[in-house]
Amino acid sequence: MDEACQILNVGPGKMGNIELEAVTERFKRLFDLNDPKKGGSFYLQSKILRARERIEREVQGHQRVAEREKELREGFKPKFTKED
């Protein structure tokens, strides 16, 4: 995770608090700068892509855990609909 944050130059912060918008902006800029058709590196593009995917997976995982913990604190409240 640290390497992914370094590649995209985003602070690791508290997991789940990384702004995915900033990650996406940096990803697009770096990915375009390393376009092989413009003299860039396919290898670097792949590192940039994998870094974005890794950060997104980590953030989404932490968000799911936070949602489950919130549900446990507040109690599970299923929504039932009355069928006629």
Spatial separation of the C-alpha atoms in residues 5 and 20, rounded to whole Å:
12
Fold type of domain 2-74 = Helix Hairpins (1.10.287)
Please report, for the chain, the start and end positions of each structural domain, with discontinuous segments joined by +.
Answer: 2-74
State the pLDDT at residue 83: 66
State the pLDDT at residue 80: 74
pLDDT in tens, 33-80: 999 999 999 999 999 999 999 999 988 888 888 888 888 888 766 677
Q: What are phi and psi of 28, to 5 degrees?
A: -60, -45
Within 8 A by CB and 6+ apart from 66, the residues are 16
Q: Does position 15 have pLDDT exceeding 60, yes or no?
A: no
47 touches 36 (CB < 8 A): no
**30 — pLDDT class (breaks 50, 70, 90):** very high
pTM: 0.71
